[in-house]
Structure 1
Amino acid sequence: MAEGSVPNQETVVKTDPVPIFRCDICQATYARPGDLNRHLKKHTRPYECDECGSRFGLRSDLDRHRRALHRSIVTNRTYSCSMLGCTRSYIRKDHLIRHMKSHRKETTHDKLLDEGHDHAPHESATSSNTHSDSSGLLWAVPFPRNPSFVGHQEILDKLHHCLETNDVHRFALSGLGGIGKTQIALEFAHQIKDRRSVFWVPTFNVDALQQAYTMIAHELQIPDSEKEEHDIKRLVQYRLSQEASGPWLLILDNADDMDMWFGNDGQRRDSQTLIDYMPKSSKGTILLTTRNMKVAVKFAGTHIFPVKAMDDTSATQLLDRSLINTLEEINILEDENRKEQIIQQLGSLPLALVQAAAYINENDIRLSEYLSLLNDKEAVIELLSEDFEDERRYRGTKNAVATTWLVSFDQIRDLSPLAVDYMAFISCIDPDAIPISLLPPVGSRKKELDTIGILTAYSFVERNSHGDHLSVHRLVQLAMQNWLRNQKLLAFWIPKVISRLNEIMTIDEYGSFESWRRYFPHARHVIVLAGLRQSAEINIQFLEKYGLFLLADEDFKEAERTFEVLIQEANIQLGPDHHITLDSISNLASAYRGQGRLAEALALDIKVINTMKTVLGMEHPSTLNAMSNLVSIYQNQGRFAEAEVLEVEALETSQKIFGSDHRFTLTKMSNLAVIWKKQGKLTDAEKLEMQALKTRQKVLGLMHPSTMTSMNNLATIYQEQGLLAEAEELQSQVVERAESTLGHQHSLTLMSMSDLAFIYQEQGRFDEAEHLAMRVLQARKITLGSEHPSLLVNMDNLAFIYKKMGRFEEAGKLVEEILETSRKVLGPDHPYTSASSGNLALIYRSLGRLKEAEALTYEIDSYTKTPRDAAWIRLEGAMVVEDKIQNELFA
């Protein structure tokens, strides 16, 4: 007999039941010719979809494809078998019932062995679909148990508690698509199946729901359920509502469509909706899974369990269980580190982790290779959009995580165009800590709340505990960015976001940049998304504000890059003599100064001041600001006499232009007092600062930051004069007022606390000084991060206190950390790095570690060549923050 041919009936009867019919294409063998013919159709694929051209071996596969993807009305074969691996479909319901009965007869020992269930008879070939046991409990669940399931124990415990107390008969799992709701429900179903009958109904479309109800009716042995005139959902509802049905759990999966469940916009209609078919029984419980919180609330009231991303431990276990591990990583520790990075990049999202493992397994690649793809945004989108096989997800549906979210997004688009605009806006900014005030105004607070409510209902965004900030999952944001890019809308939304940021990032009522801090990460994000050059082309004023905040925040390297681009673009758009172009050059000099590149800063600032005097005039605010920058450079170089001359000139000009009571004039006055203090002219400094303070109290009030800055300066002058009691009293007032007005983490608050700690230290109150300095250090770490230049000053302050207390070991460890960070952040040639080397060498000598002290000789020599000593470095470092506050107050 030729292989691949179909024998006549007589031959089949005489043939031994060993599979002998072989496919010529793939060499698969079959025992029956019908099986071979059905298999051959999968190769020839005779059925073509008229919508998209996809081809299928069986008509039933084509019908399911059209229903799932094209929502076409299929007039034939609308009842398909839900058994795993079976592709049969039928026109009539009774034919499907008859077919399902045949499945129940196919549980021979050979089939059990083939499907790997010989060691677990209770998990038989039909256990993943339908069966009943001797206890009379029924099981109609389409999926086998997930051996990779981990985590979510708290939710499972709550579900068990609800079931045991029997107080609640409806509850819901709600969360983002791919977060693991279906898998939690599946695990729960398997855990309680020896105590209750379990029925599973997928509700993502009408056909799947109808088929599931057909199977449940069959399991319940409802008479005449196959007749067309009967409403099978009503029959199942009636049967399960009877106490005789015993204890049961009904799982309604993917209940996302509000219209399907409750009618249009959640309002009840005259026609029947799914909520009308819910059975009620003291022995029955219904568990619903949904992406739509509004559906969950309407269905289950307060009995909702939000599903969040997995914790790191559970995520690692899931990834481990999902990987085949055919490749051995070179280093086990590196392997674990890469897993952690993958989990972090995927936001501990279960579906994304399973999809990642499937890709790694199928392509036989290393974790490091997959991680490199995750670091490429375009590759991430491709990975998230790639479908994969999973026997615990529905046949005919797309499993890719990005596709899952697009389904939800399509539903949101139908509900609210404004919600789509919000998501487009959010996709262009930082995914965390999004102030609601940053979102585009919509004219109505209610409209804003309703729109945010839709996005939170689908778990696309989350609100913080105070309700004033939002966050979005990083992968959801990337998927939205990709959607915008595909729709040619990303280039439309980036300028809108930049325009909104430029509008909202204004100097506050105190003349300060402090209110910018919560918007700054979003400004940085959109600039990275668009690129510095494109951001400057879109809005020069916005990029200038961005650069000024970088200077105020002491991110001098990024400020340098920003102003370099800004200068080039301003030259093109505005011309070389425009004040924004010239301001940017002066600000670039400030960036150089912040990095310790004083010679470059000096040359650039002198050049731009000469240009400004010619083009803008001596009395222009830009010229006066540039002169202030030059004063700061002179102070950094210890050239106080030249700084004094320049500041006096700026003060006189400001008094002439703006008057003695103007904020700009008062800032110049306060700056001059600081210079006199550094020169040792303490009486003159006290008199001038007192004048500035009285005027600020009169014009601005006692609680204004500028007033408190003058109080702080005056307290430091008292401290230099040895008037410690007066200094303490004044500085304590500043701390108290700043905390109550500006908050515990404001830079002025922390600067004043730091100065108060020095007063305590000079009074010999070391414990109080240490406590206060530690508070400042911890607060700065929270607001600025562990490697911010200002943090070095706070660490140095604490180390100075330790040295005064004779705790050289602790001081040494802290200065070692200071030196390491300074080398990394400021560079090995920065004066502060040299000063830190000198401080550390002195501590080593005090500890008798002479060889280590000697190793720092070169840096100590470099340090001693500068006109500074350790105390001056420490004091000047503290003034970095003070100068920043003063510069923020420029008019």
Structure 2
Amino acid sequence: DQLGYVGARGISRTAKKAPLLISSSFITSRRAKVLLCNLKVLLCNLEVMPLRQLYPEAGDTSVEEKVDIIAVHGLNPRNKKDEAHAWDTWRSAGGRLWLRDDLPKMLSDARIFLYRYKATAVYGSDQGTFLDKADELLEAIRAERDDIQTRPIIFLGHSMGGLLIKQALINAHNNPKYRKIKDATSGIGFFATPHRGVDSSLMSLGEVVAKIADRAGFRQGDNILEVLKQGSMFADVLRENWRHQILQYDIISFWGGSDKIVLKENARLGMPGDRENVVRLDAGHGGVCRFGSEITDEDNLKLVLRNVKDLYVNAIQIGPKTGLKSPVSKQPLHLLPFLENRKFTGRESALEDIRQLFFVEGRTRIALDGLGGIGKTQVALQFAYWVKKNKPEYSIFWVPALSRASFDQVYAEIFNKLQVRETESDHDVGDSIMIVDNADDKSLIYGSPGRPGLIEYLPVREDGLILLTTRTREISTSFAGPDVVELECMNAADSKDILEKSLIKKRILQDKGLVAELLEELTYLPLAIVQAAAYFNKNRQLSLKRYLNLLKSAYKSELSVMSTEFFDPARYSGTPSAIFSTWRISFDQILETDPRAADLLMFMAWVEPRAIPRSMLPGFDEGKEFEDAIGTLCGYSFVLQREDDQLLDMHRLVHLATQSWIKQQGRTERTTDKAVIHMSSLLAEPRPSQPASWRLFLPHGLRLLGQCQTCPLIQHVYLRLEVSKLLQHEWRFKETLQYCLEAADCAKEHVVEDCQLRLKMERMLVTAHLCNGRINEAMDILEHVISLQKRTLAEDNHGQLISEGQLAFDCLKVGRFSKTNDIIEYVASIRKQTLGEDDYDRQRLAKLVAVAYMEGDHIKKGIDILEHVVSI
């Protein structure tokens, strides 16, 4: 009886308490002793078998085994035997093995196994050994599942054991002998498994797992540490095919709050929320999967059991998978968020480009980019309905990339509709087109350190086409390469057609001139036109002329009709419909991801939106950084580069929206002051002999000054003076005087009477008064300037000489000949002593003296001077 007890229960007991205590004193007969020896051989063999069944006990037929749960340990400490580590990974110091003692109480109809393997051999060699050991895991599982190979499997892996599980599933996918194991796998629980490095530039996966080896007692010089650092053995688990394969599994990623080795960023796969649940446990690296009797351990165990049960329930509900076959009909599916837009018009060129690239040239990825509000979503929607009508064999899946949550939700809906659990079954769906709309957030699309981007979950198939819409050129080109269709503003005829189709009250279209003016003000942007029509429909008493006045007055107002939200059934719920609100999202993204580009954008908001010289912009001489910033703004289509490569244009509404955004952020004074400082410094630089280049700066200086109601900085005075000079060169004398007088008013707040700036300003005033025929005012100011200069400047000072030469010239104009002669003689003597022959001021002074001589009947003296100047 005693022997029978051992025989019946000993196999399972060996896992609980080893070695099994069998005393030969119980055996009296020789035959029984032989039997005992055979039993010991059997038990010895069982000790080296890698897969141990913990529950139910062998021979127990009362359990209806519905799911297999297999636990795989990681790297064992350097001086610890494999057998002991296999148990102690999951067993507390007090002997509590939760896989056997706790889990069956919750999952009574599951088979629970513990896998033991020689970890140092797995992780201390090359990738070939790693692949072979993954096959050994599969073979051990296959041997235990001869009865029902379709029974669902749940894997539990601690630390690097999770990497072995991942490699095993990759091997199973590629090997028909083991493919049923992969097909049966429903869920995986990862316990502190390092799936990635923290960041490619900070710590690779190889370095993370090397830290695990270091913790296990391996040191420099140990082969395993050197091999792990290279990380090459994990090439398969990091490849694209694995990232797609994991979408078929339910994942629980446990990480330890006290784990200093595998951090949260390492331990999470970053899958959609319905596929991966990331759970924090109050434990270190080794404590995430073994639990004692402490309160903290009990709390951790409760979280683990609850989540493993979720994996179990889901496995039962789904049932066994049958390879790659989908149980649904292969009729194409059309998952579209909006009805067909009956008001759609134009865009035939863009639609034809998309059709040509997909169905003639055989491209599988196309990007549609353009300014926010330009109609990308509507073009994509029109294309989708064209495919539905003309390519009925294609399934169409529409995935909004507004946020990770929206992406996850639609992806889950697609999986549910298809009733499949794995992306490898994509080819069973048949030909398909996926439209990824609003892919504007770079960090969301391409990921960030520790968080993968949505692009990793897009299918890669020859019969699967993807059309992606985005505002940013960087995303479009990185996604589709050269296969980018750029959407530009509509023409006037199509814009008018949209307006007419969107309006209730058609009679406002009777004034064709005002309609053309309105469309031009709206820069032919579809969203702006639809928004304007919605405003008319809401305010039916409003005339077209009154709306235009409201639109134009927006530059002076905090509010704009372009900020008014409206209902649009062809836009996503919860997203802004107003064109300004739409752009503000992009402005915020630029501010966060490219502050240099944001600075340029805020500078451009205060100058003219058209013909902006690149050389006028802050940081023009910074090379690559400047070009990258301009590239960002052009990438969002906020700024357009002219063909001459020297001038930029900004959409009028974008210009207005940027100002509105700046005001909303409370940055108006700060950004205008920065612009004034930059422009005053730029215009004060010596100008080239050809005025064409700096002449382009004038309208921008005027626009900037028009934005400044006060003069908080001394640079406001400088800028007004420099603008005055430009206006004088353009013979715009009234405006010259206006800005000189404004400069004088500003100067009163900043400078004392004998300041150099004030003298410069008053000399400009003299010129401005003279140009406007106000001789007496000019003479009064000039005499005041000269008297001040004599007290503060040396007699050979350039400015002093010019002022006195100007005074002589002005005296002649008003008939003060006697005073003129004295000044001329004085200036002529000083200039020869102090100024070089090619000095610009000397030449200018010489001209004044020459004219003064000739006006005073000293014609020969004047001619001699002029001939000398000409010769130079």
1:669-700 residue CA offsets vs partner (Å, 9 max, x unmatched): 24555677899998766643342244x3xxxx
Q: What does residue 182 of structure 2 align with?
A: none
Query: What is the correspondence of 1:808-823 to structure 2 with a 5 Å cutoff?
Result: none
The 1:628/1:507 distance shift into structure 2, 3 A limit, reads farther
Q: What does residue 407 of structure 2 align with?
A: 209
> Aligned equivalents of 2:337 and 2:406: distance in 1?
11
1:262 aligns with 2:446: yes
Contact 2:358 2:465 in 1 (8 A): yes
Shift of 1:351: 1.2
1:53-104 residue CA offsets vs partner (Å, 9 max, x unmatched): xxxxxxxxxxxxxxxxxxxx999xx9xxxxxxxxxxxx99x99xxxxxxxxx
Q: What does residue 159 of structure 2 align with?
A: none
> Aligned equivalents of 1:514 and 1:606: distance in 2?
35
Q: Greater RCO between the two (CA within 8 Å, min separation 6)?
A: 2
Shift of 1:656: 3.4
1:475 aligns with 2:653: yes
The 1:686/1:586 distance shift into structure 2, 3 A limit, reads closer
Q: What does residue 435 of structure 2 align with?
A: 251
The AA in structure 2 aligned to 1:485 is K
The AA in structure 1 aligned to 2:390 is R
The AA in structure 1 aligned to 2:583 is W
The 1:396/1:665 distance shift into structure 2, 3 A limit, reads closer
Shift of 1:358: 0.9
Structure 1 residue aligned with 2:517, among 323, 341, 355?
Answer: 341
- State the SS of the aligned residue for 2:339: coil
1:309 aligns with 2:493: no
TM-score, scaled relative to structure 1: 0.54
The AA in structure 2 aligned to 1:391 is P
Contact 1:177 1:404 in 2 (8 A): yes
Q: What does residue 476 of structure 2 align with?
A: 296
> Aligned equivalents of 2:347 and 2:403: distance in 1?
28
Contact 1:435 1:519 in 2 (8 A): yes
Query: What is the correspondence of 1:60-71 to structure 2 with a 5 Å cutoff?
Result: none
- State the SS of the aligned residue for 2:439: coil
The AA in structure 1 aligned to 2:335 is A
Contact 1:433 1:469 in 2 (8 A): yes
1:383-438 residue CA offsets vs partner (Å, 9 max, x unmatched): 23221111111123221222212222333333233333333333333323334444
The 1:353/1:495 distance shift into structure 2, 3 A limit, reads same
Contact 1:169 1:286 in 2 (8 A): yes
Q: What does residue 186 of structure 1 align with?
A: 381
> Aligned equivalents of 2:451 and 2:760: distance in 1?
69
Structure 2 residue aligned with 1:448, among 626, 645, 653?
Answer: 626
Shift of 1:641: 11
Shift of 1:643: 7.7
1:733-762 residue CA offsets vs partner (Å, 9 max, x unmatched): xxxxxxxxxxxxxxxxxxxxxxxxxxxxxx
1:593 aligns with 2:770: yes
Contact 2:716 2:746 in 1 (8 A): no
Structure 2 residue aligned with 1:359, among 535, 540, 543?
Answer: 535
Q: What does residue 169 of structure 1 align with?
A: 364
1:489 aligns with 2:489: no
Q: What does residue 730 of structure 2 align with?
A: 553
Q: What does residue 581 of structure 2 align with?
A: 403
More helix by share: 1
Query: What is the correspondence of 1:866-877 to structure 2 with a 5 Å cutoff?
Result: none
> Aligned equivalents of 2:652 and 2:497: distance in 1?
22
Structure 1 residue aligned with 2:551, among 356, 368, 374?
Answer: 374
Structure 2 residue aligned with 1:277, among 454, 458, 461?
Answer: 458
1:153 aligns with 2:348: yes
Query: What is the correspondence of 1:373-392 to structure 2 with a 5 Å cutoff?
Result: 373-376=550-553, 377=555, 379=557, 381-392=559-570
Contact 1:436 1:470 in 2 (8 A): yes
Shift of 1:635: 7.9
1:580 aligns with 2:761: no
Shift of 1:631: 5.9
Contact 1:606 1:630 in 2 (8 A): yes
The 1:328/1:431 distance shift into structure 2, 3 A limit, reads closer
> Aligned equivalents of 2:564 and 2:451: distance in 1?
42
Contact 1:651 1:665 in 2 (8 A): no
Instruction: List runs of 5+ in structure 2 lacking aligned partners.
Output: 1-271, 278-309, 315-327
TM-score, scaled relative to structure 2: 0.55
Contact 1:238 1:279 in 2 (8 A): no
Shift of 1:371: 1.5
> Aligned equivalents of 1:488 and 1:235: distance in 2?
52
- State the SS of the aligned residue for 2:398: strand
- State the SS of the aligned residue for 2:535: helix
- State the SS of the aligned residue for 2:643: coil
Query: What is the correspondence of 1:423-442 to structure 2 with a 5 Å cutoff?
Result: 423-441=601-619
> Aligned equivalents of 1:594 and 1:360: distance in 2?
50
The 1:444/1:684 distance shift into structure 2, 3 A limit, reads closer
Greater alpha carbon shift after TM alignment, 175-184 vs 159-168:
159-168
1:309-364 residue CA offsets vs partner (Å, 9 max, x unmatched): 223333333223322226658xx4xx333333333333322212211221121122
The 1:360/1:217 distance shift into structure 2, 3 A limit, reads same
Contact 2:444 2:453 in 1 (8 A): no
> Aligned equivalents of 1:639 and 1:308: distance in 2?
66
1:286 aligns with 2:484: no
> Aligned equivalents of 1:483 and 1:467: distance in 2?
28
> Aligned equivalents of 1:587 and 1:415: distance in 2?
45
Contact 1:438 1:504 in 2 (8 A): yes
> Aligned equivalents of 1:659 and 1:164: distance in 2?
75
The 1:657/1:140 distance shift into structure 2, 3 A limit, reads same
- State the SS of the aligned residue for 1:549: helix
Shift of 1:170: 1.7
Shift of 1:562: 1.3
> Aligned equivalents of 1:296 and 1:443: distance in 2?
28
The AA in structure 2 aligned to 1:430 is E
The AA in structure 1 aligned to 2:842 is T
Shift of 1:579: 4.0
Contact 1:327 1:366 in 2 (8 A): no
Shift of 1:271: 5.7
The 1:585/1:182 distance shift into structure 2, 3 A limit, reads same
Greater alpha carbon shift after TM alignment, 372-381 vs 676-685:
676-685
1:564 aligns with 2:741: yes
Q: What does residue 665 of structure 1 align with?
A: 842
> Aligned equivalents of 1:481 and 1:388: distance in 2?
22
- State the SS of the aligned residue for 2:748: helix
Instruction: List runs of 5+ in structure 1 lacking aligned partners.
Output: 1-72, 79-90, 96-131, 697-891
Aligned residues: 549
Contact 2:371 2:636 in 1 (8 A): yes
Query: What is the correspondence of 1:726-737 to structure 2 with a 5 Å cutoff?
Result: none
1:247-285 residue CA offsets vs partner (Å, 9 max, x unmatched): x433221112333433338xxx89684344324235x53
RMSD: 4.2
Query: What is the correspondence of 1:829-868 to structure 2 with a 5 Å cutoff?
Result: none
1:498 aligns with 2:682: no
Shift of 1:297: 0.8
The 1:271/1:553 distance shift into structure 2, 3 A limit, reads closer
